[in-house]
């Protein structure tokens, strides 16, 4: 993992810094005051290749990596977090799921215009009753043969009503819960698709957020994205990618507020000296910069993991978002404090940074959800217990047992004896069964501990683990230690006089009876 920027990345940083200062900074105050979507500058970012950064050139993308992508979102967000989240939503939540789950026809149809920024993309998941609990979807998609009919609504949709292409989640089978959610590509202007209420937000006011309404919206059958019933997977994996962009936006907010605070402290004087000369404030700034750098390392590591297909994409993205959003909020609050009264008025951009920072702890999964994701990795839930094995089929006679085993594969057979034989010479019966069946002799830990068999013969947790076609457990009670060594056997046959012995719960077939009576008959009749 590299810890410095490449020459290409430095060029992109410089290009975006110049663009943001020249094109975005002059419109910031009006955009924030009037909650105007900056469509003109977004289109210019598209011409610069920013709206399709981590996608192949064959579809119109820039062919860049995810580290460069998050670097770009951070750089833009230092000046304007609204532009940062617009780039993030478009790339991660619309283009990525189409690229990842779309058919070749869907990719060729939608991606070129999207990746060149000629069309804007958005994502429709959240509903009035399905925020953090995304599984509580109420929007319905009814199969009408050659099309789906969508009915319902989405709320808090970034770019709602402005975007041209939407990836929308809807229920295709409500009886199946999350497995009944499917993803669709919905285009602006489709019959029955409307923009609802536009929200008046506290921050990132340039990123317009609106309600989406589906009233008998006709969506062609070919616009199903991915497999039927796999929409929840589409949504969750898209959010994993989206969290990288939100973390980058938050990091840009923190860095932007920090840089302006440094500048302010170098010029503002109180009590005859500059604010930078007050050790308490300087130490606070040192801690702030350390947190920003630490968060950046987490973010770039997460981007590196995704780019290289390494394990841990979900939790690394969650850590990055949790850290970066928390840092953004803490840094901007302190930045306002350090600016004093000037930090609370709109003459300076510091109060806007603080307003913009808060949402990074909420969308794409709240900080509490990020902690759930991370802690779930630390303390994984135990898998649901496997379906309880059917009890062993118990036979009254050896003949019945042999008949049941007639069609069972017998390439590898292990005959194992336990303490049910009471003495060492009795295990000769197990050895004779191994000879008669062409199998291998083995023993339980109990038999080995009694000196009746060698350690090399032991099957169990502290012995060998075996998986033969047939495993004869003769005079073995079936303690967990032994079961761990033979549970992979295709067919387990138990012979024990105790009908409540645990071995019968693990066995497929069994005979309840004295091994001294059953074993000689089994040996004599095998192979006849």
In the structure encoding, which two tokens stand for residue 202, read together? 């506290």
3-state secondary structure of 288: helix
Contacts 24+ apart (CB under 8 A), 14-22: 15/48, 16/50, 16/72, 16/75, 16/76, 17/75, 17/78, 17/79, 19/44, 19/45, 19/48, 20/75, 20/76, 20/78, 20/79, 20/80, 20/83, 21/79
Nearby residues of 50 by Cβ (< 8 Å), 6 or more positions away: 16, 62, 72, 76, 87, 117
Contacts 24+ apart (CB under 8 A), 450-459: 450/419, 450/424, 451/424, 452/417, 452/421, 452/423, 452/424, 452/427, 453/417, 453/427, 459/414, 459/416, 459/485, 459/486
Q: Is 425 a catalytic residue?
A: no
The Cα 471–Cα 140 span in angstroms is: 53
Are 429 and 523 a contacting pair, CB within 8 Å? Answer: yes
Are 55 and 99 a contacting pair, CB within 8 Å? Answer: yes
The Cα 302–Cα 321 span in angstroms is: 10
Nearest to residue 133, comparing CAs of 365, 371, 375, 318?
Answer: 365
Nearby residues of 253 by Cβ (< 8 Å), 6 or more positions away: 77, 78, 81, 328, 331, 332, 353, 356, 357, 360
DSSP 130: B
Are 510 and 504 a contacting pair, CB within 8 Å? Answer: yes
Beta-bridge partners for 496: 512
The Cα 96–Cα 125 span in angstroms is: 15
Given the residues 58, 127, 364, 403, the one annotated as active site: 364
Return the active site residues: 364
């Amino acid at each position: 993992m590299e810890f410095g920027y490449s020459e290409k990345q430095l060029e992109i940083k410089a290009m975006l810094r110049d663009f943001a200062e020249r094109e975005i900074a002059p419109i910031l105050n009006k955009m924030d005051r009037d909650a105007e979507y900056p469509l003109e500058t977004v289109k210019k970012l598209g011409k610069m290749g920013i709206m399709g950064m981590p996608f192949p050139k064959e579809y119109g993308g820039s062919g860049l990596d995810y580290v460069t992508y998050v670097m770009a979102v951070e750089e833009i967000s230092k000046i304007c977090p609204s532009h940062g989240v617009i780039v993030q939503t478009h790339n991660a939540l619309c283009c990525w799921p189409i690229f990842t789950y779309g058919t070749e026809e869907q990719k060729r149809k939608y991606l070129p215009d999207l990746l060149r920024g000629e069309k804007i993309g958005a994502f429709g998941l959240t509903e009035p009753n399905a925020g953090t609990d995304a599984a509580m979807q109420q929007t319905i998609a009814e199969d009408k043969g050659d099309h789906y009919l969508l009915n319902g609504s989405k709320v808090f949709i970034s770019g709602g009503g402005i975007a041209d292409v939407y990836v929308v989640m809807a229920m295709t089978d409500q009886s199946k819960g999350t497995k009944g959610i499917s993803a669709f590509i919905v285009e602006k202007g489709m019959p029955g698709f409307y923009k609802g209420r536009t929200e008046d937000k506290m921050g990132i006011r340039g990123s317009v957020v609106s309600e989406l309404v589906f009233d008998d919206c006709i969506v062609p059958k070919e616009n199903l994205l991915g497999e039927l019933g796999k929409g929840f997977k589409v949504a969750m994996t898209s959010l994993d990618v989206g969290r990288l962009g939100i973390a980058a936006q938050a990091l840009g907010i923190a860095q932007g507020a920090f840089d302006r605070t440094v500048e302010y402290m170098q010029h503002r004087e109180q009590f005859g000296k500059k604010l930078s000369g007050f050790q308490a404030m300087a130490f606070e700034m040192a801690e702030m910069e350390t947190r920003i750098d630490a968060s950046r390392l987490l973010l770039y590591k997460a981007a590196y993991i995704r780019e290289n297909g390494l394990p841990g994409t979900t939790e690394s993205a969650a850590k990055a978002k949790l850290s970066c959003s928390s840092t953004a909020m803490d840094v901007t609050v302190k930045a306002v404090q350090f600016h004093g009264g000037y930090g609370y008025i709109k003459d300076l951009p510091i109060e806007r940074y603080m307003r913009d920072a808060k949402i990074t702890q909420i969308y794409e999964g709240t900080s509490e959800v990020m902690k759930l994701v991370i802690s779930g990795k630390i303390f994984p839930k135990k898998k649901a217990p496997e379906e309880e094995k059917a009890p062993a089929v118990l036979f009254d006679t050896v003949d019945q047992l042999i008949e049941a085993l007639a069609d069972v594969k017998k390439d590898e057979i292990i005959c194992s004896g336990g303490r049910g034989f009471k003495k060492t010479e009795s295990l000769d019966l197990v050895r004779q069964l191994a000879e008669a069946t062409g199998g291998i002799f083995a023993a339980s830990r109990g038999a080995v501990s009694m000196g009746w068999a060698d350690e090399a013969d032991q099957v169990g947790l502290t012995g060998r683990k075996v998986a033969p076609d047939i495993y004869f457990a003769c005079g073995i009670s079936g303690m967990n230690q032994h079961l761990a060594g033979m549970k992979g056997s295709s067919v387990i046959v138990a012979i024990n006089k105790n009908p409540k012995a645990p071995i019968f719960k693990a066995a497929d077939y069994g005979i309840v009876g004295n091994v001294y009576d059953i074993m000689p008959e089994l040996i004599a009749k095998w192979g006849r």
